[in-house]
Every structure is written in C-alpha cells, then in structure tokens.
Amino acid sequence: MMTETDTLIITKASLEEIQLGWNELKLRLGQLEAERTVQATEIKNLRTLLDTVVAHRQKSHNELVMMLTNLVSKLNINDVGVIVSRLMEHTNNVNNFLSAIVKDGIEAPVEQPQVLKTLEQTKRDLATATQAAAAKLIQLSSPLEPAMLSSLEGDPELFFKPPFARARRGFIKTQIPRERVVREFGESALPFFADMTTDAKLNPHPKPDEIMLGFRREFPELIAQDTTLPEEKRRGLNLLFEQVQTSRAATPDGRAQRNAFQSLSFVVELRHYYDNQATEAPDVAFAQRLPSILEYLVQGGTSDLPEEALIRETEQLLGMVINPDHRQMVVNNVGKGGGPGATSRFVLRLRMPKTSDFDQTIVDFIRHLIPPLNAPPVATFVQILRLVSPEMQMATIKAILHTDRIRRSEAEELGEKIGEAFGLKGLADQLRADQGLSPELERQLAWVKIKQMISSRNDPGMVAAAFRDRLTLKYDGDELRQSWVTLTEADPMSLIRIFCHLPYLPDGATASIARPIMETYVTRLTHEKYASTYNKIVNSLRNMYQAKPDSPTLQSFLALVRWVDATAAGKICTQVGIPTHPG
C-alpha cells in the first residue's frame, strides 16, 4: 500500500525582487521598533501611576481606619474592643490585596491603635497577675492543689472547668472534692470525712465527682487511732487537715489565703472577659461577678471598717479594667446590700477622679455613715476618712456639719471633733454659713431634705411651700432641673397634689414665681424624654376621672396646666378622655 504525500515546492526569489522589497521591509521594521518603544514607555508610566494610586489608597485607608478607631474608642459602648479588632482586620485585608496587586507580596502591617495596644498590654499584665496570685496561694500552703494552680499559667480557662470549679467551691466552704480524696488517699480514707452533698430528700443520688467532703470534728482522734493507712498517707491527711483549718481561721495566714484567692478569681475573670468580648456580656462581668469578688476582698481585714492595704490592693485590680465606665460599674455594685461593703464602695468612689455626681456621692456617703438620730463614734469617721484625700476629707466634714440625720448641734459638735482629729480646729465656726459648701453640694443637701419630706408623706402644701421657698431663694437652671428631678421621683399622685399647691401662698395669693416654674414643669412633662412620667400622670388622672369626674384635684391640675399651656392641657384631656370645649 502506498502513502500519498504532499510536496511543497519553494521557489527562490530573484535578486531583483529582493532589492525591490528591501526598502519597504526596512521601513516597516523601523515603524514596529518605534511603536514598541512607545508602548514600553506607556506601560512604565501606567505602572508608576498604579503604584502611586495604590500607595495613596493604602495611606488614606489606614488614616481613615485610625480616625474611626480613635472615635470608636471614645464612645460609651461595651464591645469597643470587638469593633476595633474588626476595623484592624478589615484594613489588613485591604492592604494585603493592594500589595498583591502592585508587588505580588504582603505589605508590613499598620501600626496598632492605642486601644488595642492597651488591651494587649492588659492581657499580659493579667497573665502575670494570675501567675503571681497562684504562686502566692501555693506559697501560703492553701488547700487547693498546687498542680491545679500551676496549670492556670498555661491555660487560664481551666479555672472555669468542673474540676477547678468544685475545688474553688470547696475552698470557700472549707470542703474537699471526693474525687481528690480517693485519688490521693484511696477509698480507705473516706471514713475520716463527712459527706456534705448527699441528702436523703434534696439530693439522694449525686454523681460521685460532685460529692464534697468535710473533715469530721473528731478527725484528730480518728487519725491517731487508725492503723490501716500507710504513714505517708497519714502525714498527707494531717497536712490537708491543717491547711483547711488555716484557710478557715481568722488569722493572718487565713486572711492572706482568702485575699490571694479573691485576687486570683478577679484577674482570671477579667482575663476571660477580654479574651471573649464577642460572647461575654459586660453587665454580667462588671456588675455581678467582679463586684462580688472585690466585696469579699475589701472585707477580708481584721475589722468591719476598710483597711488601707486592702483598698490599695483593690485599686490595683481595678486599674486592670480598661474602660473607665466598666471600672465605675464595678465600684458602684460593691456592697449593694449595705453594711461594711457599702462603706468600702463609697471609699473607693471618693478615691477615684472626680465625677459629675461627686457631691451626690458625698451626701449618700453621709446618709450611709449616720443612721437617723444615731451617729457612730468619732473614731469610726476618722478611720474611714483617713483613707481618702484631704480634699475629700474636707468635703465630707462640711457635709457632716450640714447634715439633717442628727440634730444641728450634734452635727456641728461631731464635725468639729472630726476636724480636730485632722488638725482643723474651729471648723464649725468657719463653715457655719452656707457659703462654706460648694453650690452643688449645698443644692444636693437642700433637695435631699425635700425628698425626705415627700417620702415621709408630709402635707402636699408643706412640700409645695418647700419647693417654692427654695426656688425663690435660688432661681436658676440647675435648681429648676433638680426640683423637677425631685418631683418626678415622687409617686404620680404626690406629683399631682404638689403641683396643685405650688402657686398658692398661705394667704391665698398667687406666688409671682409660680407661673415660670410651672411652665417649665409642663414643658418637661410633655417632652418625650419624660414619656414614662407623663404616662403615669395620665393614667392617674384617667383613674380619677373614671372614679369621680368632678374631683377637685383633677379639675385644679387641669386648670393650672391650661393656665400655663393650653395646648398641653388639651392633649392631656384628650388622652384622659375628658371632652374639651372650644375656646
């Protein structure tokens, strides 16, 4: 079989044809070379322009993210760390993409915002504090297992695992987990302990790893009579018994153990929050968990009064809370049940930088320290006031001189004695006049007295007269605002009755200051900011109208509102269900 192939015949060009086409070929090659040079120049210019645009885009984006970060970090929000982290993640992604376009590489990361730097430094400080607190508990020979405490350095989340949670509960209640006793001493050691978990009615069949044991009262006699345990385990049981007894005793070693445990709990809880801000609620951490820990810590002294060392230790722990609002939240929730914890709360607040409610804090502090008609000894005040700055001491003594919790003569005598303890002689004579108080503190004290009149169910006419006298004496925006706040804190019926008596003097005449005051009150009442107060007033008026349409209190209130603002009166009548008449 034969295969047919194609034959390509190439004819050679003649010399004349080559000479005729040479010039044309040379011209075309020159043109192509020129075009190539122009394109190379254009490509180079475009690359330079692209680099410039990308660099400018990176710089402007980084600046924008830093500005947003600084703004966000100043807001009063709870998840600022999460938002800032997302901003930084976004800008790094943008930088990586732009860098890959122009250089096929990754640009160096941008500088971290200050809030993230603070967060990272705080986490490192918390890790160091965790290690120090755990080491202190080990050094103090606490009943907690040393290996368990040492494990927190590598993984602080173990603190919240069931084994550690049972050990923590056992430390507080001076009990030992059953699983630990069995692991270290064997089941033959169980007769030395009493089962604190199993209960025939409440918990008849608990899980073995949930059972907590307590040493029997006769443990020293039992261990001395026992001959079944090896000597090494006998020594271990005796050591554990001594550790438990020390941890529960009111001795320096026992208090040191308990304080170290509270410090460890605080730093681990705070570290857990900062590691899990996206899922942890700040209110739970800063209003519930951490305040209760600090309350146990500040009360771990030798007396019910705060001690300087414990207050300083508490402030060091509070210093690790980044957000000032969170720090204030922790302090405000210490000692909510009153007693020594409340005293520590006020001391901590007075040692913090001044806030807008500083004067109110002083007033509340005095009300806490001085029960009605029963002032504590001078030594108590002196011991507490030594914990705050001289400025705060002076402000507190001024408030004591003007308090109405005790008789005026007793208040001046008490303030004079406290002042003498701080080297301030003749203080009562110097500060007897009202100008000795700051305007804000004097205002707070005056309106606290009026609040007490309202809460004591005094006659509405007397309360209205107190309002009128105070505003006549000092009529300004701050006084009006404080008077309105005081009025809104009363129940709706008290507010209505006081409002009805406000314009009338004892002789039946109308006070000249009444109309501007009531205009302000009605304007505030109908403002959306006080919608809750407005709704309560309308509901009370509606109930009065349904019970007795011609109620004098109802008619008087509506008449006074109509006197100062007819539009507001019409709105109230409509919502109450009272028919309005034209004109």
pLDDT at residue 582, as a whole number: 45
The answer to whether the beta carbons of residues 343 and 303 sit under 8 Å apart is no
Q: What is the pLDDT of residues 337-362, one digit of tens each?
A: 888 888 999 999 988 887 767 778 88
Q: What does the alpha-carbon distance between residue 76 and residue 326 come to, in Å, rounded to a whole number?
A: 10
Give the pLDDT confidence score for residue 113 in this predicted structure: 62
| Coil, strand or helix at 473 | helix
- CA atoms of 41 and 35, how far apart (whole Å): 10
pLDDT at 30: 80
Residue 268: per-residue pLDDT: 93
The pLDDT of residue 2 is above 50: no
Maximum C-alpha span of the chain? 142
> What confidence score (pLDDT) does residue 579 get?
80
Q: How sure is the predictor about 402, in pLDDT bands with cuts at 50, 70 and 90?
A: confident
Q: Which two tokens stand for residue 22?
A: 């040479």
Give the pLDDT confidence of 81-135 residue by residue, as tens digits: 666 666 676 677 667 766 666 665 445 455 556 666 787 888 889 999 999 999 9
Whether the model clears a pTM of 0.85, i.e. scores above it, the answer is no
CA 232 to chain centroid, in Å, comes to 50
Question: What's the pLDDT score for residue 244?
Answer: 92
Q: Which of 28-42, 72-86, 372-386 has the lowest mean pLDDT?
A: 72-86
Instruction: Check residue 139 and give its pLDDT.
Output: 92
Determine the pLDDT at residue 510: 84
Write out the DSSP string of 227-260: -SS-HHHHHHHHHHHHHHHHHHSSSHHHHHHHHH
**Mean pLDDT lowest for which of 5-9, 36-40, 315-319, 551-555?**
5-9
pLDDT of residue 105: 47
